[in-house]
């Protein structure tokens, strides 16, 4: 076992969104909705849907290749890959194993992590702690979801909200103290899974002709309840992580929240007393891409020059489970 290393830094970011842009007007041709309703209730204008035959692992590989290039490392140096997804290529083997092979990585540790829309933060937390242990040196962390594969295009209350995409970061252990991923908090409450779930296709309700006929392989959501919980838990977990690291909200340079609904982000901003200008949002163009969402916004913000060395960046998410999490980064 190598020696303990104090810091874990992000050395490269990457993102991928499929080419196929689907506007709100396009959605209005499929379900009884309108551009005005979707924009005013969610802030979404368009989303991307994967092409025929394009899987979660294909999107993950594209985002990962970009992150690897940005980090300037050789693929052979990566010794850990975690894929946060709730729409894996197949129930097993893991999408991480498929990514390992498609990217030509070594025979390294590869696994999927399922925490729905909080997956990217859960994976950052898990990956950075595995690096801190000294057992791993360079981790590829991916958030990827092909939400269109589980959307019910007869349910206007859900299908207009989600999109497909992938994002990735390279984490590296570093011996400079006080930089990189300073801390993460993750939490869960599984007492009411039906708030946001896919009823069939797992061990409790395996796929059957009946389950397909009853459209039970698609997302079901109690949007109103999720909305209220999202604002509360994201507010709480944002304050908690700042407080336990002796920061206040005024010291935060940029917040990257899970991109689910602009009204949720507005309410979060008010709750933690930060102006919206301190948030980076792109849900207008991508919708809710679940596990990909935070990384997609992080990559965009970084490439747009919104994140500079020394900046304090707060990531915050919530999702099915319920799950939630926050990560505090001192950008290096």
Catalytic residue flag (residue 117): yes
- Cα–Cα distance for residue pair 324/322, rounded to 1 Å: 7
The answer to whether residue 297 forms part of the interface with ligand UT7 (CB under 6 A) is: no
Rounded to a whole number of angstroms, the minimum distance from the CB of residue 302 to ligand UT7 is: 22
The answer to whether residue 291 forms part of the interface with ligand UT7 (CB under 6 A) is: no
The answer to whether residue 235 forms part of the interface with ligand UT7 (CB under 6 A) is: no
Taking CB under 6 A as the criterion, which residues in 168-207 touch ligand UT7?
none
Spatial contact of 185 and 326, defined as CB atoms under 8 Å apart = yes
> Which residue number is nearest to ligand UT7 in terms of Cβ?
223
The residue from 110, 150, 260, 314 that contacts ligand UT7 (CB under 6 A) is: 260
Helix then strand then coil, % of the chain, to nearest 5: 40, 25, 35
- Cα–Cα distance for residue pair 148/28, rounded to 1 Å: 16
Question: Which one of the listed residues 125, 159, 258, 281 is annotated catalytic?
Answer: 258
Taking CB under 6 A as the criterion, which residues in 94-123 touch ligand UT7?
117
The answer to whether residue 37 forms part of the interface with ligand UT7 (CB under 6 A) is: yes
Rounded to a whole number of angstroms, the minimum distance from the CB of residue 50 to ligand UT7 is: 18
Listed in sequence order, the residues at least 6 apart from 220 whose beta carbon sits closer than 8 Å to its beta carbon are: 158, 194, 196, 197, 198, 199
- Cα–Cα distance for residue pair 231/228, rounded to 1 Å: 6
The answer to whether residue 41 forms part of the interface with ligand UT7 (CB under 6 A) is: yes
The answer to whether residue 265 forms part of the interface with ligand UT7 (CB under 6 A) is: no
- Cα–Cα distance for residue pair 191/178, rounded to 1 Å: 37
Spatial contact of 39 and 283, defined as CB atoms under 8 Å apart = no
Listed in sequence order, the residues at least 6 apart from 250 whose beta carbon sits closer than 8 Å to its beta carbon are: none
Q: Which two tokens stand for residue 42?
A: 């969610």
Q: Which stretch binds ligand UT7 (CB under 6 A): 57-65, 103-111, 177-185, 217-225?
A: 217-225
Rounded to a whole number of angstroms, the minimum distance from the CB of residue 260 to ligand UT7 is: 3
CA distances from 18 to 57, 208, 288 (A): 12, 31, 14
The residue from 55, 238, 288, 327 that contacts ligand UT7 (CB under 6 A) is: 288
Q: Nearer to ligand UT7 by C-beta: 10 or 147? A: 147
Question: By CB under 6 A, how many residues form the interface with ligand UT7?
Answer: 19
Catalytic residue flag (residue 97): no
Catalytic residue flag (residue 217): no
The answer to whether residue 217 forms part of the interface with ligand UT7 (CB under 6 A) is: no
Q: Which stretch binds ligand UT7 (CB under 6 A): 66-74, 175-183, 216-224, 236-244?
A: 216-224
The residue from 11, 13, 24, 42 that contacts ligand UT7 (CB under 6 A) is: 42
The answer to whether residue 301 forms part of the interface with ligand UT7 (CB under 6 A) is: no
Spatial contact of 22 and 165, defined as CB atoms under 8 Å apart = no
- Cα–Cα distance for residue pair 272/295, rounded to 1 Å: 22
Listed in sequence order, the residues at least 6 apart from 45 whose beta carbon sits closer than 8 Å to its beta carbon are: 23, 24, 35, 38, 39, 284, 285
Neighbouring C-beta atoms of residue 39, cutoff 10 Å: 14
Residue 3 DSSP code = P
The answer to whether residue 323 forms part of the interface with ligand UT7 (CB under 6 A) is: no
The answer to whether residue 220 forms part of the interface with ligand UT7 (CB under 6 A) is: no
The residue from 63, 150, 226, 301 that contacts ligand UT7 (CB under 6 A) is: 226
List residues with catalytic annotation: 117, 258, 288
Judged by the rule CB under 6 A, the positions of this chain that interact with ligand UT7 are 33, 37-38, 41-42, 117, 156-157, 160, 221, 223-224, 226-227, 230, 260-261, 288, 319
């Amino acid at each position: 076992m190598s020696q303990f290393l104090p810091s874990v830094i992000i050395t490269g970011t990457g993102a991928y969104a499929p080419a196929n842009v689907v506007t709100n007007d396009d959605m209005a041709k499929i379900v009884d909705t309108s551009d005005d309703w979707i924009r005013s209730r969610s802030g979404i204008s368009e989303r991307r849907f994967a092409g025929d035959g394009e899987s979660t692992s294909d999107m993950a590989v594209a985002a990962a290749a970009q992150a690897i290039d940005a980090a300037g490392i050789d693929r052979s140096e990566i010794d850990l890959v975690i894929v946060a997804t709730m729409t894996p290529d197949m129930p097993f083997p893991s999408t991480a194993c498929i990514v390992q092979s498609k990217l030509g990585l070594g025979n390294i540790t590869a696994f999927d992590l399922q925490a729905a829309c909080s997956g990217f933060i859960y994976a950052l937390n898990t990956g950075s702690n595995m690096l801190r242990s000294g057992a791993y040196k360079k981790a590829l962390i991916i958030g990827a979801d092909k939400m269109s594969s589980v959307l019910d295009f007869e349910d206007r209350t859900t299908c207009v909200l989600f999109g497909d995409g992938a994002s990735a970061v390279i984490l590296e252990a570093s011996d400079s103290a006080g930089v990189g991923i300073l801390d993460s908090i993750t939490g869960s409450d599984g007492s009411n899974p039906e708030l946001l779930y896919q009823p069939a296709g797992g061990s409790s309700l395996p796929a059957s002709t009946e389950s397909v006929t009853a459209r039970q392989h698609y997302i079901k959501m109690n949007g109103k309840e999720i909305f209220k919980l999202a604002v509360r838990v994201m507010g709480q977990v944002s304050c908690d992580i700042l407080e336990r690291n002796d920061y206040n909200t005024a010291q935060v340079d940029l917040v990257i929240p899970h991109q689910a609904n602009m009204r949720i982000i507005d309410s979060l901003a008010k709750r933690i007393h930060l102006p919206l200008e301190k948030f980076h949002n792109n849900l207008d163009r991508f919708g809710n891409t679940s596990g990909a969402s935070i990384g997609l916004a992080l990559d965009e913000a970084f490439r747009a020059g919104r994140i500079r060395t020394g900046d304090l960046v707060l990531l915050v998410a919530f999702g099915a489970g319920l799950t939630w999490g926050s990560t505090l980064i001192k950008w290096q």
